Structure 1
Amino acid sequence: MSLDPNQSIPTGGPLSRFADTLRSDTVGGFLLIGAAVLALVWINSPFGGAYEDLRAITFGPASLHLDLSLETWAADGLLAVFFFVVGNELKQEFVHGELRNPRRAMLPIVAAVCGMVVPAAIYAAINATSPDTVQGWGIPMATDIAFAVAILAVVGRGLPPALRTFLLTLAIVDDLGAVVVIAVFYTSGINFLALLAAAAGLVLFWYLQRGKGLAAKLNASALPNWIVYVPLALVVWGLVHESGVHATIAGVAMGLLMRTTKLPGEAHDPSHGVEHVLRPWSAGLALPIFAFFSAGVVFDGVGEVLTDTAAMGIIAGLVVGKVVGIAGGSWLTTKLTRAELNPSLKWIDIVGMSQLAGIGFTVSLLITELSFADSPEHLAHAKTGVLLASLVATVLAAVVLGARSRHYRRLMRATAPTETAGE
């Protein structure tokens, strides 16, 4: 990784062309989906025990509390790279792009809050008379941003770019909200000293990019910048992990702190430079490995699942609650405030995207583990419920967004001759 703003972004060559291929959301989406399907098939096959043994392998320095399983390294470590790329992309949108307009930035943020509250309320209502399962109300709140963005890339190649920005913003806010819920309601304690140390590391990360004092000396030296930034990023990640907060938040925070403007004499800003370097690693390595280790959920007696109020609350919350909360909340917000929907989007696009937000997986499965740690039967049913809800949400979203994608492509073809003639 290089954060050197004076270094040109490389082009040409076989490796460069391969990296450009991996930068495509569609290619990354297919890799992620393929890895997830492989995991599902493997764990539900007669050789599922080997899959469980593989992802349970642990390694890392025990003295730093980092002797983690492969599954945890993928979900907390590799996924942080993806979250960094997403946070960095959002920073660019907030400074230079779609989200510069406060009226449009407000909409996905409010939608994310509504998309958490409504599914949680639906789950709580279904489980109101079941004290053994009501504590799982946080499970359907979360959206798995990695899977959602991958599916959108695969089925929505003709959709307006503003819809992807809406989804990214919504999913980041959703994940931050889910982390707060985990910290407050599902975690025995937070290590505030580690959290403060991580915050100090983030301040240093921000300062070093600003070109003053120590930062100016670093940029003027012959020392490659990655020698400073990569160890600093690893320390911040480790401190966030030690604090008890989900470690991927370190990636989001550092991405949002990236500088997106050029200083005098720079070839490009650090934000675009580091994105150029990291995006192929995120799409081609981090996300497929994460999907492989996180998607291995056993189908546990679907008939029994449908009679378990915990599973039914999860399915209703993710499949129905997300659409009602996100699309309904967005529509009400435009009616009651000055917030506005991007002119390139229609409300049916938001409905399809809202359905896509019903993909739970990572954080939902994490909250499931925390909710039913002492109840193996409910735990198994709830995990299956997350999987079924995510599959249903994916299919429904693919139908709606696929149709909208074809609609937009037809519009582009219809207007192309006119534009050519006008030239």
Structure 2
Amino acid sequence: MYHDLIIVGGGSCGIVSAIKAKDLNIDVAIIDSSDRVGKKLLITGNGRCNLTNEKLSLSRFHSDNNNFFKDIINTYDLEYTLNFFKSIGIYTCTLDSGKIYPLSLQASSVLDILRMNLSERNIPTYMNEKVLNIINPKKGYFEIITSSTAYTCKKVLLCTGGKSYTRTGSDGSGHKLAKNFGHRLINLTPGIVQLKLNYDRLKAISGVKFESSCNIEVNGEIKKQEFGEILFTDYGISGPPILQLSRIASKGILNKSSIFIHVNLLNSDYDHIVDFFETHFAVFSYRSISDNLVGIINKKLIPIILKECGITDIHMPTYSLEYEYRFKLYKLLCDWKFQVIDTNSFENAQVTIGGIDTTEVNPITLESKLTPGLYFGGEILDVDGDCGGFNLQWCWSSSSAAVNAIYNVLKD
């Protein structure tokens, strides 16, 4: 079976690449190991499909080679992306601090429309085909060997993704195919993922949610701060701020660094907390110390926090609480420190950190510098974005860069 271009991987990047290629009159096909294309898209944005973000900037993308994605993101930017979606029948709205979604707020509708576009263009999709190997037997041609047949093509675009959400078929197999051509791999680690903590009272506070600011500390240095809803779990900590900080944690774990999360329960500075509680405790000094925290912090946290401060009798009247323990309490309320020991697995991660070393890939065309005719798109590369639609934006932008480059070669 022959096609000018074969895309290995029928996820978001692969589907959009195929649509764009066909619109440029490229003879294109998709090969995928799943039974249907695009399954992973259904779980993006909590089922609403966070397509991109109006606050698109280079600072929201990361790589060991941080200059790599600059030209692609700047060229295939937000306006370019939204115009493309409009051209294929996907209309958008902006919610939640700049996050852009389909008007339907349904990931399933985005996938339906993408599949419609494949069908309308009669793009072949070879499903349940596990790619076992890709060889370059003679200059200008590739042979793709699958579990059931062999395909021949002039150009290969690897869009197999990373290892996140493994149940959707992301198993890292594309990285192995790239390594067969001599490509190096930047170590893979989970990104946009929950964190595991070394804390023996997690079960007691599991399920507690609150709005708070939090910092991440690596080897004694505060690296970044985020704010939002935080959730304690039986294994550790989660919530949007934690997911945004998790990249730093993942990289730190990979480097065997000392990592801590600092939680400011009241999202207030120390002096304000002292002033507030000294006044509050003076007015209600006859109440127990635990009763004096009711209505200020979550009730499940009260006995845990007091014990953390060394206050063993949580029912003692507040007037009898010694100065030393009051100020331990104030300090903990604005800086509750937890040791991070790991992240959750790739099964729970929204993105893969690491991937194909981008120093071996052309930053304009996404063509391999080692094997002409081999191209890459999306999460398979060592590029990842922040939570909020930035990883899908990398899919859309990289697909455009690769397909346009392939077109410019094939047309000559």
TM-score (norm 2): 0.27
Larger Rg: 2
TM-score (norm 1): 0.26
Greater strand proportion = 2
Greater helix proportion = 1
Say which structure, 1 or 2, has more relative contact order (CA 8 Å, 6+ apart): 1
